[in-house]
A and B are shown apart, each in its own frame.
Chain A
Amino acid sequence: MKRLEMTEVIFKVLSYTLLTIFAIFCLYPFVYAISAALSGIDAYYSGRVVLLPVDFQTHAFRDILFTKRFWISYANTFFLTFYGTIWALATSILGAYALSKKRLVFRSGFNFFLVFTLWFAAGLVPQFLNYRATQNIFDSIGITDDKWLIVIAMGMNAFNVVLLRNAFEGVPKEIEEAAIVDGATELQVLTKVYIPMSKAAIATVALFFGISRWNGFFWARTMTRNRNEWPLQVFIREQLDNIMAQELPATTPYAPNSLVYAMIVCAIIPIIVIYPYLSKHFAKGVNVGGVRE
């Protein structure tokens, strides 16, 4: 009996230590980013910033406040995330609801139509040519803002539709029947029964869409013709490329890296703010929305 307890205790101690170390490993870069953004130029260049700010200054943050292009790209990212998530979520919920109905004719065909895109994607070049063609069509009907192209044409994901469909299939049929007896229309059944009963799965899928929208870089970089429509990610990358190519020391009170770190901190803030609200849905949402066997 003694030996049994020993292995349990050892494993417990191991869990606490390893996880604490891993958590520190995960958090350190962010803590460092804040410190580096707040450190003076000499301290940063001489490598004295390790954990806490050295030669404290706030000029980097103050300068960002007056960098117009930073805020434009910030607003663009909000635009893309907001409309992109709404568009993707709305089409996915409507479609997944229809697909969750066993009585739907050609149901398995539609399912295959979606899931096939997870197996085989057309690749970079065809996708690019397709987006270019779409862009031309959008131009000809007067939508010259490439943000709408990104919102409407990109970011749809069959996997998320499958998650939603599985969640909807899990809703008890009796409740739906009761609603229909009470005279509910198809749309009312969806909004009054299915959506409230699949909140966790919808929150999870919304989160997946939101994150991929917030983080999108490559297609935004490739398809956006006007720099004023660049999202934040593209802007930050440009700043990094600039400082990597830099050959002379800066004359500002902070190192150019500190400015980039300050931008990164600003870019993370919205995520930190909504994070606590989302984190409680994670485990539940993934559990409910998990792929069926």
Chain B
Amino acid sequence: MESNESKLIHKPEELRVRDNYEKYYWRIMCGRILKDWRLYLMLLPLLLVFLLWRYLPLYELVAAFKTNDPTQRVLNRDFVGFTYFYSLMFGADASFFWLAFRNTFLLAFYGLLFGFPVPIVLALLFSEINSNGYRSLLQIATYLPRFVSTVVVTTIIHMLLSRPSPFSEPGVLAQFLGMIRVIPEEHVRQGIMYLPQYFRSVFQISGIWEAAGFGSIVYFAAIIGISPASYEAASIDGATKIDKIRHVVLPSILSTITIMLIMNVGQLLTVGFERVLLLMNNETYDTAEVVSTYVFSRAGIQAGGQGANQALASAADMINAVASMLLVIGANMISKRASNTSLY
């Protein structure tokens, strides 16, 4: 009874506030913020880290529209508009830039074409293994390369595929490939890592070796979530294994596949920069140079600024970043339309 009365007493005030929501908006918001000040305090470090080291660098992008004058602060440099963008796309630097862009696109495209389906297939195969012990064993073995650093992986690749020297035979894998005639003997002699035509294969195969096993986790989790009843129903209807995969398994994991696809598309144009940098050398430049390595060499980060053009490098980077952002948004939009699944 009493509680009812107290509600009645408060009601007019509540109504008054609700009717004048616009007028009291900031007062209400400030009240809510002040009441939850602990939450904002908790959020603060995270926001600061992102602000300082993710958003503040965006300001340096202005440098791409200004003269390349490292002695001046970015704001004081002369504005040159799209000069560098023009130079990259149609002018003096176009041949280098488009080579890098083409390589980036091809590496990413092949990665999607060959690398993306492998984890799905692996997950399908894993779900077929009945013995839990053996399956864990296989999973542990196939996940392992993912936990080893890029440097270790590329170092092993370099040594397994090394070229012969006057005192040593080629690396063991190079020898094997030469023996089974996958790669001509003379190419083994020249060194697989030093021939541009093999760079893409080395990159993709080592990429699958490194990431496919661990990548299958997500799909495997989705597959074991399918209820056994669906399989039984399909069996009664006379479905073969292929039918079951097509009509039971694939539809159930489609949303997972879509999300992973969008995420992959988002990272398309940033193709494992470290891995490319660690695998490439001057002789494989023609197929290995990607936009990020081009930016890296043009910016002279390592060379100490000799002959560097940071404005040009920034511009190249920005083209890449904008292109990849458009890809994510596009992929997200298409998937929203087609299957009602979207990441953001």
Which of B16-24, B107-115, B146-154 participates in binding chain A?
Answer: B146-154
Contact call B151/A233, Cβ cutoff below 8 A: yes
In the bound complex, what is the Cα–Cα distance between A281 and B7 (angstroms)? 49
* Distance from A33 Cβ to chain B, minimum over Cβ atoms (Å): 6
B125 at the interface (CB under 8 A from A): yes
> Contact check: which of A4, A153, A248, A257 meets B238 at CB < 8 Å?
A4
Residues of chain B with a CB closer than 8 A to A156's CB: 46, 49-50, 53-54
Q: Contact between B160 and A27 (Cβ–Cβ < 8 Å)?
A: no
A129 x B57 contact (CB < 8 A): yes
Residue in A110, A122, A291 with the greatest tally of chain B CB atoms within 10 Å: A122
Contact partner of A26 among B33, B59, B142, B155, CB < 8 A?
B142
Quick check: is B334 within 8 A (CB to CB) of the other chain?
no
Main secondary structure of the interface of B (DSSP, over half): helix
Interface segment among B92-100, B196-204, B295-303: the answer is B295-303
Chain A residues contacting B36 (CB-CB under 8 Å) are 101, 103-105
A120 within 8 A of B: yes
Question: A124–B317 Cα gap in the complex (Å)?
Answer: 7
Q: Mark B197-235, 1 if CB is under 8 A from A, else 0.
A: 000000000000100010001101100110000000001
- Decide if B159 touches A126 in the complex (CB within 8 Å): no
**Do residues A237 and B151 form an inter-chain contact, with CB atoms below 8 A?**
yes
B45 near A91 (CB under 8 angstroms)?
yes
Contact with B along A1-32 (1 / 0, CB 8 A): 00110011011101110111011111101101
Per-position 1/0 for B36-64, Cβ under 8 A of A: 10111011011101101111111111010
User: Are the CB atoms of A233 and B217 closer together than 8 Å?
Assistant: no
Residue with the highest number of chain A CB atoms closer than 10 Å, among B150, B151, B162? B151
With A8-B241, A25-B209, A161-B46 as contacts: A282 and B259 at CB distance below 8 Å: no
CA distance A216 to B342 in the complex (A): 30
Residue of B45, B165, B314 touching A94 (CB-CB under 8 A): B45
B295 near A124 with CB under 8 A, answer yes
* Given known A-B contacts A22-B122, A27-B141, A233-B151, A283 and B329 have beta carbons under 8 A apart: no
Within 8 A of B (CB), among A26-43: 26-27, 29-30, 32-33, 36
Which of B32, B136, B145, B301 touches A103 (beta carbons < 8 Å)? B32
In the bound complex, residues from chain A placing their C-beta under 8 Å from that of B241 are 4, 7-8, 10-11
Chain A contacts for B162, CB-based, 8 A: 244, 257
Knowing A122-B60, A260-B155, say if A215 contacts B313 (CB, 8 Å). Answer: no
Residue among A44, A101, A282 having the largest count of chain B Cβ atoms under 10 Å: A282
B284-324 interface bits toward A, Cβ cutoff 8 Å, 1 = contact, 0 = none: 00000000100110010110000000100110011011100
User: Which residues of chain B have C-beta atoms less than 8 A from A171's C-beta?
Assistant: none
Contact status A95-B60, CB under 8 Å: no
A233 touches B46 (CB 8 A): no
The A-contacting residues of B in range 114-170, CB under 8 angstroms, are 122, 124-126, 128-129, 136-152, 155-156, 158-160, 162, 165, 167-170
**Is A114 an interface residue, CB under 8 A from the partner?**
yes
Interface residues of A in 250-281 (CB under 8 A from B): 255, 257, 260-261, 264, 267-268, 271, 275-276, 279
Give the interface size class of chain B.
35 or more
Q: Do A97 and B144 touch (CB < 8 A)?
A: no
Task: Kindly state whether residue A123 has any CB partner on chain B within 8 Å.
Answer: yes
Residue pair B142, A283 in contact (C-beta under 8 Å): no
Please tell me if A181 contacts chain B, counting CB pairs below 8 Å: no
CB distance from B78 to the nearest CB of A (A): 18
Complex: chain A residue closest to B170, CB-CB: A47
Interface presence of B172 (CB below 8 A) = yes
Q: A32-B160, A126-B61 are in contact. Are A218 and B314 (CB under 8 A)?
A: no
Q: Does B277 contact A (CB under 8 A)?
A: yes
Query: Which of A8, A19, A131 lies in contact with B122, CB distance below 8 A?
Result: A19
Considering the complex, give the chain A residue whose CB is closest to the CB of B256: A290
Q: Are A121 and B321 in contact (CB under 8 A)?
A: yes
Using an 8 Å CB-CB cutoff, how does the interface string of A210-226 with B read, 1 for contact, 0 for none?
Answer: 01001101100010000
- Which residues from A are CB-within-8-Å of B329? 119
B54 to chain A: closest residue by CB: A117
A255, A271, A293: the one contacting B147 at CB < 8 Å is A271
- Distance (whole angstroms) from the CB of A260 to the closest CB of chain B: 6
B325 at the interface (CB under 8 A from A): yes
Q: Please, how many angstroms separate the alpha-carbon atoms of A4 and B278 in the complex? A: 49
**A18-B125, A233-B151 are contacts. A279–B156 as well, Cβ < 8 Å?**
no
* Residue A98 CB within 8 A of the other chain: yes
> B242 within 8 Å of A by Cβ?
yes
Which 3 pairs show the lowest CB-CB distances between chains A and B? A95-B46, A123-B317, A47-B169
Give 18 pairs: A residue, B residue, CB < 8 Å, sorted on A: A8-B241, A22-B122, A36-B159, A47-B168, A97-B39, A101-B39, A104-B43, A105-B32, A123-B295, A123-B314, A123-B320, A126-B317, A129-B57, A131-B53, A215-B148, A233-B149, A234-B151, A240-B158
A7-B241, A130-B57 given; 11 more Cβ-contact pairs under 8 Å = A98-B42, A119-B329, A153-B53, A156-B53, A218-B274, A233-B151, A237-B155, A267-B149, A282-B217, A290-B218, A291-B259
